[in-house]
A and B are shown apart, each in its own frame.
Chain A
Amino acid sequence: MLKINNLHASIDDKSILKGLNIEVKAGEVHAIMGPNGAGKSTLANIVAGKEEYDVTEGVIELNGEDISELAPEERAHNGVFLSFQYPVEIPGVSVTNFIKTAINETRKAKGLEDMPAKDMLKMIREKSELLEIDRKFLSRSLNEGFSGGEKKRNEIFQMAMLEPKLAILDETDSGLDIDALRIVANGVNKLKSKDNAVIVITHYQRLLEYIVPDFVHVLHDGKIVKTGDASLALELEAKGYDWIKKEVNS
């Protein structure tokens, strides 16, 4: 699904990723953990195609195709989805209108007609039930005045609607209370299939109790320095990151 080889990237001449490698196969869940400033969000933004980063070296392949030169919307059309850490507000644009536009623009890029209103409605109904979203919520302006939990739930709702191949969840657990966390995690689990893959970026092991990863990677100083199974997350939770930093430096 996703294959990143020797990725180097910087912003304003400050080097952030320094030779990162990762391979994610269809049907897998990967967790990326690491201390603040390790480059976790940078990685998510670069895969999604944010332009302010300079990719100086390396290859990003999605299903065997190099996507480094593609615009963010083209990557989205190819099935990349990013659940934002800080979703932006768009006043006056309802959640429904926004997702409808997103779906139809993606269909247009694939040469398909707009989704019939009847199908759209059915899908919205299904997915909002899955995430326990109130109907009234859908008519509100996108993220305007949303609580932290509502914003994150809305991100996962959009993911459910867009049915991406590769979903990257950037600190989706931050700002969530335990109930919201459970709902969001349940949603992600139900959307998981053998044809798609999920990358979970998080600080804490808490989310991983609900979304159980096949692999856990530790990102430190722009590189993946350790990879293990779900038990690695528990170890990190208990011991912190210092021992890894020491291990790397020795």
Chain B
Amino acid sequence: MSKYTEEDLEQELKTKEYEYGFYTDIESDTFAKGLNEDVVRAISKKKNEPKWMTDWRVEAFRVWEKMEEPDWANVNYPKPDFQELAYYSAPKVKPKLDSLDEVDPDLLETFKKLGISLEEQKRLANVAVDIVIDSVSVATTFKKTLGEKGIIFMPISEAIQEHPELVKKYLGTVVPTSDNFYAALNSAVFSDGSFCYIPKGVRCPMELSTYFRINEGGTGQFERTLVVADKGSYVSYLEGCTAPSRDENQLHAAVVELIALDDSEIKYSTVQNWYPGDAEGKGGVFNFVTKRAICETNAKVSWTQVETGSAVTWKYPSCILKGNNSVGEFYSIAVTNHYQQADTGTKMIHLGKNTKSTIISKGISAGKSQNSYRGLVHVGARAENARNFSQCDSLLMGNACGAHTFPYIEAKNKSAQIEHEATTSKIGEDQLFYCNQRGIDTEKAIALIVNGFSKEVLNKLPMEFAVEAQKLLEISLEGSVG
């Protein structure tokens, strides 16, 4: 620890204090399990939130109480007992390890395959070493650059304290507390998340990634993200990590809201690699996410996602194309293997005139998994000249998996042009033999075929992310053809 600076010390002390406080509170907490209004108030109090925030949470809780867990998705799982869960106000703190030797060798093997550097491996596996110092310096430079442009990027809990007017103005405006069961639950108990504001006319000079938010612990079970792009601004936001996330929390219910004001653009890229459960389908994360964007006049939002993890995924990143000439895009790769189940897609709600949307969905199913695309294209009565193009492709490996497509179209304006294309293909013995004959072994051949299949979406990811995502696809499908 030769490079230990004053700043690092300060940083560490802050973290330690947080941890300590967190544990004390929980230990003395009589309602560690179960959920009622008092728990919601206690969460808000622990986070020292203003009254409007507490009220907002309580209101969400009251709505949630009356709701029922939805069961229309094409997934099967034991319904969680919400009174058996503990609703923490702070992110889970992982045990600090002294060296990489203490880390699960499987995890290290995966890191190696992903080509993650040693230092980065330590950070991801929560090994306490000088890497902390490195990322502090990186993060400091990063913060300085953003600060000069007036960009706000911080944990949402801090934003509630430091920029209450912005949070209050936008929180819940795209995904209202009453939107759905999981969104209501998240609104009541969300632990933390990210807040990002890009001022008028500012082009964010770098990809914003949660990676740099070092003062945040784990991501927590109920994450809340709010991104506001003011008029004429641009931001590219990266969420998640290609490294596998092992989390004891079985239920994850995040909410992401994007607000794209006039003439602005938001690109939101996600790589989701939560623990999918083992090869027999035991364990794994339930991922029930609500993601939605609102686009004002001439605004554009692109969602790009690569989903390889979770035992059960329920996720529909959507765009409300409210302003005239606004554009919504959805590019998705969803991979399921073993016993994984995914029901994912998007909603494009055309309300403004000349609005345009594009949907490209690539589902890859292997093992005994089930992979569903579910999408809605809605064209409102006043949405003159709305245009949509949807393409849903499914790739199957073996005979025991399933691919399903549920496209819904509602057009209330006759000028709408809606195109939908769907294909289903299977990695055939013939394709594999052809590759084999050229000296390419079966594992590599599958990677090649899958990457070819996913190319249109991979191309939408920021460069570095795309390379990692490509490797991730290979790893996720390892051993899928026997």
The answer to whether the Cβ of A61 comes within 8 Å of any Cβ in the partner chain is no
| Contact mask for chain A residues 73-89; partner B; CB cutoff 8 A; 1 contact, 0 none | 10111001110100110
Q: Contact: A84 with B434, CB < 8 Å?
A: yes
Q: How far is the CA of A92 from the CA of B428 in the complex (A)?
A: 16
Q: Are B448 and A141 in contact (CB under 8 A)?
A: no
With contact pairs A72-B436, A73-B441, A101-B440 given, residues A90 and B429 touching in the complex (Cβ less than 8 Å) = no
Q: Are B451 and A73 in contact (CB under 8 A)?
A: no
Whether A93 pairs with B438 at a CB distance below 8 angstroms is no
Distance (whole angstroms) from the CB of B471 to the closest CB of chain A: 15
Residue A52 at the chain B interface, CB threshold 8 Å? yes
Q: With A and B bound together, what is the CA distance between A201 and B452 in angstroms?
A: 32
Contact of A92 among B437, B440, B452 (CB under 8 A): B452
| A106 at interface, CB cutoff 8 A | yes
Given A91-B453, A92-B454, A92-B455, answer yes or no on A98-B441 (Cβ-Cβ < 8 Å): no
B453 touches A92 (CB 8 A): yes
Which residues between 31 and 54 of chain A lie within 8 Å of chain B, taking CB atoms? 48-52
How long is the Cα–Cα vector from A48 to B436 in the complex, in angstroms?
9
Residues of A within 8 A of B428 (CB): 88
Chain A residues closer than 8 Å to B441, beta-carbon distance: 71, 73, 105
- Residue from B425, B434, B436, B453 in contact with A87 in the complex, judged by beta carbons closer than 8 Å: B434
CA distance A93 to B48 in the complex (A): 54
Q: Does A158 contact B (CB under 8 A)?
A: yes
Q: For chain A, residues 99 to 141, give those with C-beta under 8 angstroms from any C-beta of chain B.
A: 99, 101-103, 105-106, 109, 141
The distance in angstroms between the C-alpha atoms of A88 and B441, with both chains bound, is 16
Q: A162: CB under 8 A from chain B?
A: yes
Give A77 to B439 CA distance when docked, in angstroms.
6
Asked whether any CB of chain A lies closer than 8 Å to the CB of B107, the reply is: no
The answer to whether A76 and B448 touch (CB under 8 A), given A52-B429, A88-B431, A92-B453, is no
- A98 and B448 contact, Cβ closer than 8 Å, known pairs A76-B437, A162-B438: yes
CA distance A77 to B436 in the complex (A): 10
Taking the closest CB of chain B, its distance from the CB of A68, in whole angstroms, is 16
B433 contacts the other chain (CB 8 A) = yes
The docked-state distance in angstroms from the alpha carbon of A122 to that of B392 is 39
- B449: CB under 8 A from chain A? yes
Q: Is the CB of B434 within 8 A of A88?
A: yes
Check if B437 sits within 8 Å of A82, measured CB to CB: yes
Residues of B within 8 A of A106 (CB): 439
| Distance to closest chain B CB from A44 (angstroms) | 10
Closest-by-CB residue of A relative to B433 is A50
A173 to chain B, nearest CB (A): 20
How far does the alpha carbon of A97 sit from the alpha carbon of B455 in the complex, in Å? 12
Residues of A contacting B448 with CB < 8 Å?
Answer: 90, 93, 97-98, 101
Other than A88-B434, A105-B439, A141-B452, give 4 A-B pairs with Cβ distance below 8 A.
Answer: A73-B436, A88-B430, A92-B452, A105-B440
What are 5 A-B residue pairs whose CB atoms fall within 8 Å in the complex?
A: A75-B437, A84-B437, A91-B425, A92-B453, A102-B435
The 8 closest A-B pairs by CB, nearest first: A92-B452, A93-B452, A72-B436, A76-B439, A102-B438, A106-B439, A92-B455, A73-B436
